[in-house]
């Protein structure tokens, strides 16, 4: 990679490194040393310094000899993207890569123990503490949503928490759509019932008499019975499935808004306090530089004034140091607070989601139960019809009809003279 | 009843009785003697004579003392109606009435052994031969449709055979209407299937993922399965119920027409031959009267010419007598032929009706079988849904979603100076 050029994806202040290279997003940097471990040396505008390799995108790969580096580059490239937002940083892959190489690199440079993305501070890869998941084997929300990610719909960022919130809102939407689907089924059933009921009243073949006529009349009536069954089905669909879906968590949106604002506020506070840290850091650097300058002056020319100046500069330096410590404390407190709230709130969202899935599962089971019932009730509408059909007797029907309609049973006789 | 007046319902020639009273339909007759046995003496236009009491309608009942007569009148009145057609004559009731009274009436008048209604000759009540039903206990068509009846739709007559034919035509009509009813059911099923199928394709909540998403997708698919079941039902309804109903006896109308014309032709022939008998009877009466006149003339004044005339008149009388016998023979043959054809054809109609009722019964059983099948197939569409619902696992769904959507698992750390 040495000799390659790369383009920065995000701004970097360089503060986290004793010899950090600062740049803006979009700057071109010449790669001087591309070491494994996450920190590269580069040169920009004649200035040399170190920066996290994940902050840049290599423009061309000059050396192919080192397969290891190319693989590594591929690993990091996959976690990069071309917006002004830092994507999720594939720390684990880096970590694994380091181990699998078993490189005994003496990382002669000293790096920071951490660096920030969007004012949230993460450990650097080489200095990653042993991190167990808070809830191992549970794939818990509270373990996997620490980093921001690129907003697919634009140039901004989406926090991990916002991803979780979106999931919740989507879940509610799905529930609503399921209720709509059930509503459509209800309409279909009511329509079917109406048609069956109407046909049941149709006088077709109602003049059929006797045992056959009775069986036919019952067959027609059975359509009205079927209609009843389907109406009951649609009515229960409404009360036992649709309604619960619509009613479940009616305060949902309000709650989500509340969570959203709360976490967002904590992030805002974090941004403010991070800025204060940066400002204090710069102020300290300025004060230290002043002290250096003054000390050099003393080496050239001893003077009381310069000694006084040096004392003053030293005092200011100390004060700046204290201020920096104070700002860092405040920042760390803020971040801890945000961390706690993230854990608590994401676990609450997780719980709500489990509840939602359970609720839906239960009520869809209710749907299938109602369908089973309906089919069974429907079958029973055929029983009286079957019975009457069994009793259909052409001889009996003839008797009934002949009794009613005969014209005369005396047979003709011959004329006698 | 003596002293009452009655109004005649049908014409009566009086020929069947030695002292018959002739009248037209609508004539007013004064009742002289209303004897049980079916023959009353009456007076019209100064002429007295006897007639069948079933031919008249009593205008008022003068005597209430004799409950027996009133009951008898009710019996006969119920078989009377006000058109120019003879209604069915309730012989059996008359017969039973006579026996239950155990009246030992000496029926001093001599009646005919038979009389005709619409040119068909029946035995008179008092002289009724022992008639067993041709097919006892079977209520067979061939036993109960000998007499004509009044056409409810006008002034004419309907033969017993036409009543049987109408029954057949009505039966075919009923079959056709049942097929129409099944067609309507088919349409309803197709409509239902179409709606279910369409809803099955609806993308509502299709973004639900994981095990819950699978269960939901299967639930939606089950509607398409239900639609299939109902389409199959409607298809079988068409091939196994509607079609057979429409196809059964396609030559039916032709056959009925054939029967109708055949029997009607035989009745027509009977009418013709009856007229011939009446004509021959009248001719004989005329010849006998002539003989009487001539014989009386001889008693007044002996003369050769008169003796010759008497011989001629006697010859003509004999010839007229032979002619009458010949006509009666032809008539009786015709009536026998008609009788045979009536028995054969009405038994055929009876057989066809049994077949029709059986066919319909079978196919309506097929209908209920198809409905049972449909409900069972329908139930089975729920099985895969139930299975998948059982497998819904919020923890698994969380894992799947988090794996896909996580933003970063490295937790933030404090800033160190």
Nearest to B204 among A178, A389, A416 (CB): A178
> Is B399 close to A140, i.e. CB distance below 8 A?
no
pLDDT, residue A346, reads 97
Using alpha carbons, select from B392, B287, B373, B269 the residue that is nearest to residue B330. B269
Cβ A136 vs Cβ A104: under 8 Å: no
Nearest to A407 among B146, B208, B371 (CB): B146
**Low-confidence residues in chain B, pLDDT < 50:** 60-89, 95-97, 99-110
Q: What's phi and psi for B158, nearest 5 deg?
A: -120, 130
C-alpha separations of A118 from A29, A60, A159, A234, A409 in Å: 22, 28, 10, 53, 110
In sequence order, the 6+-apart residues with CB closer than 8 A to the CB of A42 are A6, A21, A29, A30, A31, A32, A48, A49, A50, A51, A56
pLDDT of A167:
97
User: Per the CB < 8 Å rule, is A407 touching B149?
Assistant: yes
Residue B119 in tokens: 């040119």
d(CA A133, nearest CA chain B) in Å: 8
Owner of token pair 């069954």: A229
d(CA B354, CA B140): 11
Let me know: does B155 contact B340? Beta carbons within 8 Å: no
| Contacts for B130 with CB less than 8 Å, ≥ 6 apart | none
Contacts of B395 in chain A (CB under 8 A): 138-139, 354
Residues 74-93 of B with CB under 8 A from A: 88-89, 91-92
Is-contact A202 B182, C-beta < 8 A? no
Binary contact (B339, A368; C-beta < 8 A): no
Contacts of B216 in chain A (CB under 8 A): 178, 364
Q: Which residue of B has its CA nearest to A326?
A: B417
Chain B interface includes A120 (CB < 8 A): yes
* Dihedral over alpha carbons A54, A55, A59, A63 (to 10 degrees): -40
Chain B residues lying within 8 Å of A373, measured CB to CB: none
pLDDT at A83: 36
State residue B402's pLDDT score.
96
B88: closest CA among B31, B147, B38, B131?
B147
Q: State residue B62's pLDDT score.
A: 34
Q: In this predicted structure, what is the pLDDT of residue A62? A: 34
Residues facing A58 on adjacent strands:
A6
From chain B residues 173-192, the ones with a CB under 8 A of any chain A CB are 174-175, 177-178, 180-181, 184-185, 188, 191-192
Q: Write the DSSP string, A337-372.
A: HHHHHHHHHHHHHHHHHHHHHHHHHHHHHHHHHHHH
- Bridge partners of B118? none
Q: Quick one: closest CA in A to B188, which residue?
A: A195
B174:A205 CB<8 A: yes
CB of A230 closer than 8 Å to CB of A374: yes
Using CB atoms within 10 Å of the CB of residue B45, give its burial: 0 to 12 exposed, 13 to 18 middle, 19+ buried. exposed
Q: How far apart are CA A65 and CA A67, in angstroms?
A: 6
* A100 CB neighbour count, 10 Å cutoff: 10
| % of residues, chain B, pLDDT over 70 | 86
Q: Name every chain A residue with its beta carbon within 8 A of the beta carbon of B141.
A: 398, 402
Distance CA A227, CA A220 (A): 11
* Predicted ipTM of the assembly: 0.74
- Residue A64, token pair as written in the block: 């192919």
Nearest CA in chain A to B411: A146
Report the pLDDT value the prediction gives residue A102, as an integer from 0 to 100. Answer: 36
Query: Do residue B339 and residue A411 have CB atoms under 8 angstroms apart?
Result: yes
User: Which residues of chain A neighbour B91 with C-beta distances below 8 Å?
Assistant: 408-410
3-state secondary structure of B330: helix
Helix (H) or strand (E) holding A30: strand A28-34
What is the edge-to-edge ordering of all strands in the sheet holding A39-44?
A47-52, A39-44, A28-34, A5-8, A56-58
Q: pTM of this prediction?
A: 0.74
Contact B335 A412 (CB under 8 A): yes
Q: What is the mean pLDDT of each run of 10 residues along chain A (417 residues)?
A: 73 80 84 80 86 76 35 40 42 50 34 83 80 94 94 84 97 97 98 98 98 98 98 98 95 95 97 96 94 87 85 93 96 97 98 98 98 95 97 97 94 89
Residues 311-370 of A with CB under 8 A from B: 324-325, 328, 331-332, 335-336, 339, 350, 353-354, 357-358, 360-361, 364-365, 367-368
Q: How close B42 comes to chain A (CA, Å)?
A: 25
Contact B191 A195 (CB under 8 A): yes
In angstroms, the separation between the Cα of residue B387 and the nearest Cα of chain A is 10
Residues 296-315, chain A: which have Cβ within 8 Å of B? none
3-state secondary structure of B51: strand
Please tell me the distance from the alpha carbon of residue A137 to that of residue B98, in angstroms, as a whole number: 106
Contact B51, B39 (CB under 8 A): yes
């Amino acid at each position: 990679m040495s000799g390659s050029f790369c383009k920065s994806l995000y701004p970097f202040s360089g503060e986290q490194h004793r010899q950090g290279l600062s740049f803006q997003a979009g700057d071109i940097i010449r790669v001087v040393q591309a070491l494994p471990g996450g920190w590269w040396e580069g040169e920009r505008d004649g200035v040399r310094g170190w920066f996290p390799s994940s902050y840049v995108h290599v423009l061309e790969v000059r050396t192919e000899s080192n397969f290891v580096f190319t693989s590594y580059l591929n690993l990091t490239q996959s976690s990069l993207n071309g917006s002004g937002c830092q994507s999720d940083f594939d720390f684990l892959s880096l970590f694994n890569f380091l181990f699998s190489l078993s490189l005994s690199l003496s990382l002669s440079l000293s790096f920071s123990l951490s660096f920030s993305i969007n004012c949230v501070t993460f450990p650097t890869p080489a200095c990653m503490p042993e991190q167990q998941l808070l809830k191992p084997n549970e794939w818990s929300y509270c373990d996997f949503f620490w980093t921001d990610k690129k907003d697919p719909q634009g140039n901004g960022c989406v926090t991990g928490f916002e991803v979780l919130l979106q999931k919740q809102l989507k879940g509610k939407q799905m529930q609503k759509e399921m209720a709509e689907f059930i509503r459509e089924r209800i309409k279909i059933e009511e329509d079917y019932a109406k048609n069956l009921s109407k046909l049941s009243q149709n006088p077709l073949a109602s003049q059929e008499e006797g045992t056959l006529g009775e069986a036919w009349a019952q067959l027609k009536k059975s359509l009205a019975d079927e209609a009843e069954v389907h109406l009951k089905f649609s009515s229960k669909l409404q009360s036992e499935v649709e309604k619960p879906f619509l009613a479940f968590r009616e305060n949902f949106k309000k709650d989500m808004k509340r969570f959203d604002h709360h976490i967002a506020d904590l992030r805002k506070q974090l941004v403010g306090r991070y800025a204060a840290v940066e400002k204090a850091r710069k102020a300290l650097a300025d004060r230290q530089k002043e002290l250096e300058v003054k000390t050099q002056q003393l080496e050239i020319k001893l003077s009381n004034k310069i000694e006084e100046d040096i004392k003053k500069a030293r005092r200011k330096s100390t004060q700046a140091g204290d201020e920096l410590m104070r700002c860092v404390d405040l920042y760390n407190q803020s971040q801890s607070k945000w961390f706690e709230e993230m854990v608590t709130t994401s676990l609450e969202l997780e719980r709500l989601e489990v509840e939602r899935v359970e609720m839906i599962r239960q009520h869809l089971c209710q749907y299938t139960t109602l369908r089973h019932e309906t089919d069974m009730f429907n079958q029973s509408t055929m029983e009286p019809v079957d019975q009457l059909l069994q009793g259909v007797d052409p001889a009996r029907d003839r008797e009934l009809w002949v009794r009613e309609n005969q014209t005369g049973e005396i047979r003709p006789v011959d004329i006698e003279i």
